[in-house]
Amino acid sequence: MAISTIHLKEGGYLHPPKSGVTVIVGPNNVGKSTLIRELAAHVKHGKVQGAASSSRHIVASVELTLSGSPDDALAWARRHARLLGEEPNQQLFWPGGRIHQGELAKLFSSPSNLAQGLRNANELFCFYGDAWQRISGVGSVGKRDSFSAPVESPLHVLQLNPDIFAELNGICRQVFGVTLTLDQLGQSLHLRLGETGLEAPKVDEVTEEYWAAVASLPMLSQQGDGMKSLIGLMIPLITAAYPIIFVDEPEAFLHPPQALALGRILGEQSRAKSTQIVLATHDRNVLAGLLQSGVEVSIVRLDRSHGSTACTHQLNVDEIRDIWSDPVLRYSNALDGIFHKAVVLAEAERDCKFYASVLDEADDLGDSLILAGDVLLVPAGGKDGFPRLAKVMKSLNVPVVVSPDLDILNDRSKVKVLIDAMDGEWSQVEALYDKATAEFRQPREAATIGNVLGALNALFSGRSAERFSASVRAEFGVQMRSKDSPWQDLKKYGVAAFRADRASADELLRNLDQMGIVAVRVGELEGFAPAIGVAKGPGWLPAAIKAEAHKSAPALQHAAALLAAASGTR
């Protein structure tokens, strides 16, 4: 049994891999947990009433599919549940539920019956686990009165099957470095941490020493929420064979290495049991663990940036496999972008750190629909890294903005490739590019003193009372530069280097902004703090922060432009 198609209220649809993991991701408060709950509700009850009218509902309907005949389904149920009673009133029992065999046969007799939901058979075929259910699932349970009594708890399965308990123990050792002991000595079953160091006696030869040793082990139910949540999730999954599993935020309460291990374990479980898992997560580590396991993974990104209606975008198994095979993507923070409202690509790590400090200082950056905290800054490793990362972010339906130094205009081909990666049209800016950069593409002779004096008089006439600030000093520098390396002036002096046709340059940059390519108007990162005495290198960033360059008007203006481009408000 598997979900074949999820019909969405927005009109689209999703196809989870039948045997694999579908990962629901997206920014905060977009409805990831809601989607998981709605899917579980549709599988159990069929089409949920009110889903069409509520603006917060995401799922319109769910199609279930069976491989095999109705008789195969009944045979599967008999293998994984206990058949008790006399004909014709035999019932199937499993931990937490029961169903009359005839009712189950009727459910599978017609696809129209299945469309009405699994109803009383739901908990036999489908598991749903949120954080609270997982934490509460490690508590003690009473023993059964007899061997023939129905199994009422996964702990009863652990008691009956040493191999399954050994599997759970292996997971606990792998993630937390400790073993478990199943305490069967009292009237209830308890899970405890650690081992007694004593050989377990026969049931009719339990000594006081052994009893005391077991009682001294700490109870699992008294441990931290992270351990309880993970073990509480794994107990029902390894003691049953659910075809469909829903998990909401499996990483809750876990440290990053534990979340990574859990993702890998869930992937291994899906592969081993041909299980369909749908989970919602905020954590890249869970996703990385799933990908490490080799299970088929599909990513569904959820967003509400264009109104109250949830928008979804699914990346299929082959696309995910291609992304994960790229070492730059695997070992960078680029994939974290799926958990944010927007990604900003900068040339290097130092650029990202400076822009992060600017965004931290910016209380009000205009009418942007995206807040500073919603943005992930990703180093591209230079201009050549922009197109690949931009295409990946767009394939994940993540809004992406590129922040190159202004000297990207030096290379016509690089500009064209980047525009293409950002889904822009080179033809829209080609004429502007040619006009704005014409002066840099012409051979120029060295400047004369007369050239410099004439340019200074023209530029600063009527400004004699103005304070000689760092920006004014930069304007002076532009006019006094040598003319034998025109392109490097873009990086050194920023937009002030455009002297022949500044209007075309400004229009070109505005057009690029609208495509999500927000060039650094001061030329390069160091242009935000030109007078701190540190020109380049690792010492620049701390010196710039100390000089409060991240609070300067040019820096704040650039941050506002990045957010505006991400919001699409330009």
* pLDDT 10s digits, 485-525: 678 889 889 999 999 999 999 999 999 999 999 999 999 99
Cα–Cα distance, 472 to 476 (Å, whole number) = 6
Q: Is the residue at 331 inside a domain?
A: no
Token pair recorded at residue 210: 């052994």
Q: Is the pLDDT of residue 331 over 80?
A: yes
Q: What is the pLDDT of residues 424-480, one digit of tens each?
A: 999 999 999 999 999 988 765 666 777 677 767 766 777 788 888 877 777 777 666
Cα–Cα distance, 300 to 69 (Å, whole number) = 31
Q: Please tell me whether residues 231 and 182 are part of one structural domain.
A: yes
Q: Is the residue at 113 inside a domain?
A: yes
Q: Is the residue at 557 inside a domain?
A: yes
Average pLDDT of the segment spanning 259-281: 97
Average pLDDT of the segment spanning 530-537: 82
Q: How confident is the model at residue 55 (pLDDT cuts 50, 70, 90)?
A: low
Q: What is the pTM of this model?
A: 0.85
Q: Please tell me whether residues 163 and 147 are part of one structural domain.
A: yes
Please state, in angstroms and as integers, the Cα–Cα distance from residue 458 to each residue in 264, 309, 465, 483, 501, following that order: 67, 56, 16, 18, 15
Range of the domain at 467: 443-485
Q: Please tell me whether residues 290 and 374 are part of one structural domain.
A: no
Q: Is the residue at 414 inside a domain?
A: yes
Token pair recorded at residue 98: 């029961």
Q: How many CB atoms lie within 10 A of CB 483?
A: 15
Radius of gyration of the chain (CA): 31
Q: How confident is the model at residue 363 (pLDDT cuts 50, 70, 90)?
A: low
Tally of structural domains, the chain: 3
Mean pLDDT of the chain: 90
The per-residue pLDDT for 308 is: 66
Q: Please tell me whether residues 459 and 516 are part of one structural domain.
A: no
- Asked which of 202-216, 377-391, 454-468 is least confident by mean pLDDT, the reply is 454-468
Q: Is 311 helix (H, G, I), strand (E, B) or coil?
A: strand
Q: Which residues contact 216 (CB under 8 A, 6 or more apart)?
A: none
- Asked which of 93-102, 328-337, 478-487 is least confident by mean pLDDT, the reply is 478-487
Please state, in angstroms and as integers, the Cα–Cα distance from residue 434 to each residue in 403, 410, 411, 518, following that order: 21, 11, 12, 19
Q: Is the pLDDT of residue 56 over 90?
A: no
Q: How confident is the model at residue 340 (pLDDT cuts 50, 70, 90)?
A: very high
**183-186 contact pairs (CB < 8 A, 24+):** 183/214, 183/215, 183/217, 184/143, 184/159, 185/211, 185/214, 185/215
Q: Is the pLDDT of residue 224 over 70?
A: yes
Q: Please tell me whether residues 367 and 470 are part of one structural domain.
A: no
Question: Can you say how many angstroms the Cα of residue 499 is from the centroid of all Cα atoms in its chain?
Answer: 45
